[in-house]
């Protein structure tokens, strides 16, 4: 339990400055109670059946299998892609900490739009919001993120 004390400032900031996205994440979390959940560096990670990842405040949602990320092309196991995606989505939680109520207009909405308009030859993670999330995730976990892996 002592280990989790270091995450208290993270949780307090997510529940105050990042309250909008944390409330949205709470609602989404409540709809996934039957899924696998874990505590990840102060965040609540859910492995859901949808084929994409999303972060809302201190809540992370990622698919349990990540084959759609072309893991074979990069010779990564499902476990490594899952961990890298978790690091990436954790980076988005730090964007929430930094941007607070501006998270949706400056990060969330541009990310969704990018996912709809990017060309197949472009990496999803080359977009500034996604690249920034990779950087933050790596900085605060010390682990590798998604880099420019294709979707």
- Establish if 131 belongs to a structural domain: yes
- Establish if 114 belongs to a structural domain: yes
Kindly tell me the number of DSSP H helices and DSSP E strands found in the chain.
7, 4
Contacts of 61 (CB under 8 A, 6+ apart): 28, 32, 45, 46, 48, 50, 53, 54, 55, 89
44 vs 148, higher pLDDT: 44
- Residue 90 pLDDT exceeds 80: yes
- Establish if 93 belongs to a structural domain: yes
- Establish if 71 belongs to a structural domain: yes
- Establish if 85 belongs to a structural domain: yes
Contacts of 69 (CB under 8 A, 6+ apart): 81, 85, 146, 149, 150, 151
6 vs 30, higher pLDDT: 30
CA distances from residue 115 to 43, 63, 126 in whole angstroms, order as listed: 24, 16, 11
Q: What is the mean pLDDT of residues 60-88?
A: 77
- Establish if 150 belongs to a structural domain: no
Confidence bin at 66 (pLDDT 50/70/90): low
What is the overall mean pLDDT for the chain? 89
- Establish if 146 belongs to a structural domain: no
pLDDT of residue 147: 80
Q: Is the pTM of this model over 0.85?
A: yes
- Residue 69 pLDDT exceeds 60: no
DSSP 102: G
- Establish if 149 belongs to a structural domain: no
Range of the domain at 15: 2-141
pLDDT of residue 4: 76
- Residue 118 pLDDT exceeds 90: no
What is the total count of domains within the chain?
Answer: 1
């Amino acid at each position: 339990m002592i280990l989790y004390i270091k995450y208290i400032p993270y949780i307090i900031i997510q529940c105050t400055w990042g309250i909008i996205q944390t409330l949205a994440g709470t609602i989404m979390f409540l709809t996934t109670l039957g899924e696998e959940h874990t505590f990840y560096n102060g965040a609540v990670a859910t492995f859901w059946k949808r084929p994409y990842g999303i972060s809302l405040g201190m809540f992370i949602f990622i698919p349990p299998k990540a084959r759609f990320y072309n893991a074979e092309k990069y010779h990564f196991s499902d476990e490594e892609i899952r961990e890298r995606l978790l690091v990436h989505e954790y980076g988005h939680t730090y964007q929430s900490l930094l941007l607070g109520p501006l998270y949706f207009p400056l990060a969330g909405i541009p990310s969704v739009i990018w996912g709809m308009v990017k060309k197949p030859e472009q990496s999803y993670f080359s977009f500034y919001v996604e690249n920034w999330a990779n950087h933050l995730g790596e900085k605060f976990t010390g682990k590798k993120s998604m880099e420019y892996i294709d979707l």
